[in-house]
Amino acid sequence: MAKAGIRESATFDTKAEAVEWATKLEAEIAGGKRRAYSKVQKTLGDAMDKYLDEISPSHAKHEWNVTRIAFLKSDLAFVGETVRNVKPESIGKWRDARLKEVKSSTVNRDLNLLSAVFEAAKTEWKWIHDNPVHDVKRPKDPPPRRRRVPDADVTLMTTALGLSDGKAIETTQQYTAMAFLIAIETGMRQGEIVSTVRPNVHAEHRYVHIPKSKNGDARDVPLSARALALWNRLPIVAGEQRCFPVSQGSVDALWRKVRKKVAQTHPHMADLNFHDSRHEACTRLSRKLNVLALAKMIGHRDIQSLMIYYDETPAELAARLD
């Protein structure tokens, strides 16, 4: 059908369905909810740029969005197509190709971001009628990681990173080791730790303030005696407000480099991720805090999501029964 310069077509099994669709479309056009999108010549790449400029900066994951959109623009064969012409079939083919290279969880995160771009093009800028990602089947996420971090593994990594009792903290490797120890003790994320500034460490009241966490909320992380001692061990650097005067990128790169070296003599260490510290911390803290207190400390709005990180072994649970 064509009305007010808008051309739409669809196929239906019955005349009744076709009439219902046409009636609804006419009502949307009359109500100003539809426009002649055929005149919009913006590409998917244009939509990605506009998303980064207008939508993403208000999100906690903006820096991640910048990195991933740069990747998507280089990887999607249809990034130069007008946004209204991108079909679910094209996205599906890209999904299948990516699944041969990376885990399904990575593909799903990228699909989430791609969907957010299309949704902005639909609802904010009125460039398209529908979000094509909604018609793409998502791959099933792998089961949550169950990697625990026993004290022996903590010692292996921190020693390899050059940290020892009584030794001054000077190198990026040593700061990386300290960040890992704090993560084990508090459940804080790597980025939250590395970005902490001294005014947000309230030693007298034993908590660290996080102005903005992954979900966009602020939270206060209570400190155990050991956690407080770890924060207090960090040297005060003249003219530097950051507790960790290093970049998160350097911390992440050094972690991977040293882990690879340690794995040469201790193969089981090859799969140890920094983020496994959060898994370990949640499990350890669950022995001290009730579920509501733990959710507040870790920063989970949904208590059910704690189960992703909590993972006491049957032997540990049995020991608590005695």
The larger pLDDT score, comparing residue 231 to residue 215, is at: 231
Last residue of a domain, one of 135, 162, 178: 135
Residue 126: domain span: 37-135
Tell me, yes or no, whether 206 and 314 share the same domain.
yes
> What is the band of 180 on the pLDDT scale with cuts at 50, 70, 90?
very high
- Same domain flag for 164 and 123: no
Q: What is the pLDDT of residue 306?
A: 67
Look up the pTM and report it.
0.67
Is the domain of 200 the same as that of 164? yes
Write the CATH number for 84: 1.10.150.130
Query: Which DSSP state fits 80?
Result: T
In 157-218, which ranges are E strands? 201-202, 207-210
| DSSP secondary structure letter of residue 43 | B
Percent of the chain's residues with pLDDT above 70? 87
For 48-52, 139-143, 261-265, 273-277, which range has the lowest pLDDT when averaged over its residues?
139-143
CA proximity to 115, closest of 75, 80, 86, 74: 86
Q: What pLDDT band is residue 2 in, cutting at 50, 70 and 90? A: very low
For CA atoms 24, 26, 32, 35, the dihedral sign is: positive
pLDDT value at position 29?
Answer: 58
**Residue linked to tokens 């957010």:** 116
> Residue 244 class from Cβ within 10 Å (0-12 exposed, 13-18 middle, 19+ buried)?
buried
Residue 262 lies in a domain: yes
What's the confidence (pLDDT) of residue 1?
43
206 domain residue, yes or no:
yes
Question: Does one domain contain both 161 and 300?
Answer: yes
**Are 92 and 234 in a shared domain?**
no
Q: How do residues 264-294 score in pLDDT, each as one tens digit?
A: 999 999 999 999 999 899 889 988 888 888 8
**Residue 44 and residue 164 share a domain:** no
Task: Convert the pLDDT of each residue in 242-260 to its tens digit.
Answer: 999 999 889 999 999 999 9
Question: Mean of the per-residue pLDDT values for the chain?
Answer: 87
Look at residue 5 in the predicted model and tell me its pLDDT.
Answer: 44
Mark whether 179 and 307 lie in a shared domain.
Answer: yes
The confidence band for 3, taking pLDDT boundaries of 50, 70 and 90, is very low
Can you give the pLDDT at residue 286? 86
In angstroms, the Cα distances linking 180 to 16, 159, 255, 312 are 64, 12, 10, 20
For residue 300, being part of any structural domain is answered with yes
Contact 154, 181 (CB under 8 A): yes
Q: Are residues 193 and 311 in the same domain?
A: yes
Q: Residues 96, 131: one domain?
A: yes
* Phi, psi (degrees; rounded to nearest 5) at 43: -90, 170
Model confidence pLDDT, tens digit, residues 55-107? 999 887 888 899 999 999 999 999 999 998 999 999 999 999 999 999 998 99
**Same structural domain, 113 and 252:** no
Domain co-membership, 94 together with 218: no
Are 131 and 158 found together in one domain? no
pLDDT > 90: percent of the chain:
62
> Does residue 20 lie in a domain region?
no
Total domains, the chain: 2
pLDDT reported for residue 310: 67
* Phi and psi at residue 11, to the nearest 5°: -115, 135
The CATH number assigned to the domain holding 242 equals 1.10.443.10
Q: Which of the listed residues 109, 135, 161 is the one where a domain comes to its end?
A: 135
Query: Does 143 reside within a domain?
Result: no
The answer to whether residue 1 is domain-embedded is no
Active site (catalytic) residues? 189, 214, 300, 309
Residue 4 has pLDDT above 70, yes or no: no
| Structure-block tokens of residue 25 | 């479309």
In a domain, 210, yes or no: yes
**Which pairs with CB-CB distance under 8 Å and at least 24 residues apart come from 161-170?**
161/254, 161/258, 168/235, 169/233, 169/234, 169/235, 170/235
Mean pLDDT of 136-160: 91
Q: Looking at residue 28, what is its pLDDT?
A: 63
Task: Say how far apart CA 316 and CA 322 lie, in whole Å.
Answer: 11
Buried b (16+ CB within 10 A) or exposed e, 155-170: ebbbebbbbeeeeeee
